């Protein structure tokens, strides 16, 4: 079955428009459980309750509010919130292009695939080829689900992918954390040995070599329970202390 697109529009840069369709690119495979009452295995429902009246409130009697001051709420309708969305012109509006490798991984939030829409094959192929040739990513704005986002468009396989980006203000700068002083920096010998260790473990990244073994372990526990087998708690974990003799430990690691 062909995947269904979740958005239709065009990538706009300069006076050029590339008609595209947007598709989901990722899906969670985490094993899902639903909440049940342990004693009788009955279903748990989440109910909206007004604590003052201690009564369930029907959905129609619920509004959205923003707390401007303790206990003081500004009520907004869905339409009023949607007014913040941004231009609804069905465009992924490219502002400029940047070197694709320069965008730090921390900025990437969610990924979508881009497919060529009707009559868009030619423009799509040209944009993809040009991004590959220049090693650039397009940076622009995209209104999706009533919210404007900053996005990057990059080459992905034989096509293009759209990545929503986090804002700089939303990322923690690692340098904001202070490090304790050390009296002695790592020695040249330590660095050399540690570098050997890094090179020894260096591989080409192949995503398919990393399986989610936890997912299988969860399903195994489910199976054991279904078959009435005993589910044993794990052995307590041993914790290693820190290494006082770094050089000796590095030597031992290299064998």
Partner 1 sequence: MARSIWKGSISFGLVNVPVALFSGVKDTDVHFHQLHAKDHVPIETRRVCVDEDEEVPYEEIGHGYETDDDELIVLTDAELATAAPRKTRTIEIEAFVDLEDVDPIYFDHPYVLLPDGESEGTQRAYRLLVEVMERSERAALGRFVLRTKEYLTIVRARRERLTLTTMRFHDEVREPPKSPGKRPAKKQLDTTVKLIKAMSEPWDPANYRDEYEKRLKKIIRDKQKGKTVKEPERPEQPSAIEDLMAALERSLEEVKA
Which residues 19-48 are close enough to bind partner 1 by CB under 8 A?
21, 23-48
Cα–chain-centroid distance for residue 72? 34
Q: Is 70 in the site for partner 1 (CB under 8 A)?
A: no
- Say which residue the tokens 């006076």 belong to: 15
Here the tokens at position 130 are 């040009």
Give the 3-state secondary structure of residue 164: strand
Burial of 9 (0-12, 13-18, 19+ CB in 10 A): buried
86, 92, 142, 153: which one binds partner 1 (CB under 8 A) = 86
Looking at residues 92 to 131 of the shown chain, list those that interact with partner 1 (rule: CB under 8 A).
93-94, 96-99, 101-108, 111, 113, 115-116, 120-131
Q: Least distance to partner 1 from the beta carbon of 219, Å?
A: 8
Terminal-to-terminal C-alpha distance of the chain: 53
Looking at residues 194 to 253 of the shown chain, list those that interact with partner 1 (rule: CB under 8 A).
194-195, 197-199, 201-205, 207-208, 210-214, 217-218, 220-222, 225-226, 231-235, 237, 239-244, 246, 249-250, 252-253
> Can you give the length of the chain in residues?
255
9, 133, 153, 229: which one binds partner 1 (CB under 8 A) = 133
Q: Least distance to partner 1 from the beta carbon of 129, Å?
A: 5
C-alpha–C-alpha distance, residues 90 and 41, integer Å: 47
Q: Least distance to partner 1 from the beta carbon of 180, Å?
A: 5
Asked if 92 contacts 148 with a C-beta cutoff of 8 angstroms, the reply is no
Specify the pairing of strand 136-144 against strand 7-13. Answer: unpaired
Q: Is 188 in the site for partner 1 (CB under 8 A)?
A: no
Q: Least distance to partner 1 from the beta carbon of 81, Å?
A: 7
6, 81, 142, 153: which one binds partner 1 (CB under 8 A) = 81
Q: Least distance to partner 1 from the beta carbon of 22, Å?
A: 10
User: Phi, psi at residue 67, to the nearest 5°?
Assistant: -85, 105
């Amino acid at each position: 079955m062909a995947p269904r697109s979740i958005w239709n529009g065009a990538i706009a840069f300069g006076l050029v428009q590339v008609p595209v369709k947007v598709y989901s690119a990722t899906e969670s495979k985490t094993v899902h459980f639903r909440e049940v009452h342990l004693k009788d295995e009955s279903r748990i429902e989440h109910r909206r309750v007004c604590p003052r009246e201690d009564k369930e409130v029907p959905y129609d009697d619920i509004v959205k509010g923003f707390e401007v001051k303790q206990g003081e709420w500004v009520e907004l309708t869905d339409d009023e919130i949607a007014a913040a969305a941004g231009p609804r012109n069905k465009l992924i509006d490219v502002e400029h292009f940047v070197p694709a490798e320069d965008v730090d991984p921390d900025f990437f939030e969610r990924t979508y695939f881009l497919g060529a829409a009707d009559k868009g094959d030619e423009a799509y192929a040209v944009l993809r080829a040009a991004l590959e040739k220049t090693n650039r990513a397009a940076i622009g704005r995209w209104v999706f689900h009533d919210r404007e986002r900053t996005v990057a468009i990059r080459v992905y396989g034989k096509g293009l992918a759209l990545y929503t980006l986090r804002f700089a203000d939303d990322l923690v700068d690692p340098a904001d954390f202070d490090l304790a002083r050390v009296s002695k920096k790592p020695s040249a010998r330590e660095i050399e040995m540690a570098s050997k260790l890094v090179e020894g473990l260096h591989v080409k990244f192949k995503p398919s070599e990393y399986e989610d073994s936890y997912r299988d372990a969860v399903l195994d526990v489910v199976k054991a329970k279904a078959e009435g087998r005993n589910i044993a708690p794990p052995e307590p974990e041993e914790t290693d202390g820190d290494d006082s003799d770094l050089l000796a430990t590095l030597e031992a690691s290299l064998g």
